[in-house]
Amino acid sequence: MDKNLVLGIDVGGTGIKGAIVDVKKGEFVSDKVKYKTPKESGPKAVLEVIKKMLKDLDWEGKYFGCGFPSIIKDGICCSAANIDKRWIGVDLGELFKRELGVSAHFSNDADLAALAEMRFGKGKGVMGKVLLVTLGTGIGSGLFMDQKLIPNSELGHLHYKKSIVEHYASNRARENKDLSWEEWGTELNKVLKYMSLILNPDLFLLGGGVSKKFDNYKEYLTIDTKIIPAKLLNNAGIIGAAMLAYEGGQ
C-alpha cells in the first residue's frame, strides 16, 4: 500500500466517521464511512463501531489516526464532554492496540480539524494567531500561532451565562432550541467576541458541517476580527487524523 494513504477516523458526540486519506494532498481516496455514535458511548461500544469501519474500508495498514472529543495528553483521555465518562483515564493507544491489533495515534478532534485546515485549507500560510472554532454537537477549538498548534484549548467549555458556550452557540444548541439563523448568529457573535477578548486572534475560521451554511448567518457576525468559513468543512477532522498518524508513524 502507498505509504501516503492513511486512515483517519473522527469520533464525535453524534457520529463516528472515517476515510482513507492521501496525506500529501489532503484528499479522500475512499468513500467516507459514517456511523452514529452509540448512545452508550463507552469504550466497548465505540470500539465495535471502529472495528466495523476498519472492515468497511478494508484497512490493512499498520496504523491509523483518530480525533477524539477529549483533552488528550500523552495518549491518555483526560476529559469526556461529549462522550461517555468511562473514557477518562484510558490509555487510548494501549486499548486500541490490544483490541484492534493496530497502532493508533490520538489527539483532540478540534485540534486535528485545525491542523488539516492550516495545512490544506484557508489557514495555509497564514501567520499570526489563528483560531478555528468547530460548530457541531459541541464547540471545539484549535489554536495556532505562526502555524504552530497550541493543543487542547477547549474553548467550548468557557463559562458563559448559566453554563458553557457550547450549550448556547453549538449547532446542536441551534437545532435543539429551534433557533432562527438570526437568533443563533447573534448568539454565536457574542461567543466569538468573548473568545476574541481573551485571545485576540488575527483570524477566526469556522469549521464543522454548519460552516457550509455560512451565508445564512454571516451578516450577524459583526466583531472586528476577520471571520471566514473553513474550506474542509466536516472532513477536516478525518484529514487531520490521518496526518497525525502519518507524521507519528514514520
Question: 3-state class of 80 per DSSP?
Answer: coil
> How confident is the model over 142-166, as a mean pLDDT?
96
- Are 53 and 99 in contact by the 8 Å Cβ rule? The answer is no
CA 93 – CA 246 distance, rounded (Å): 15
The pLDDT value given to residue 118: 97
The pLDDT value given to residue 82: 84
Backbone angles phi, psi at 35, to 5 degrees: -125, 155
Q: State pLDDT tens for residues 215-236.
A: 999 999 999 999 999 999 889 9
pTM summary value? 0.92
Q: Based on the number of CB atoms within 10 Å of its own CB, is 101 exposed (0-12), middle (13-18) or buried (19 or more)?
A: exposed
The pLDDT value given to residue 249: 59
What residue type is 50 in one-letter code? I
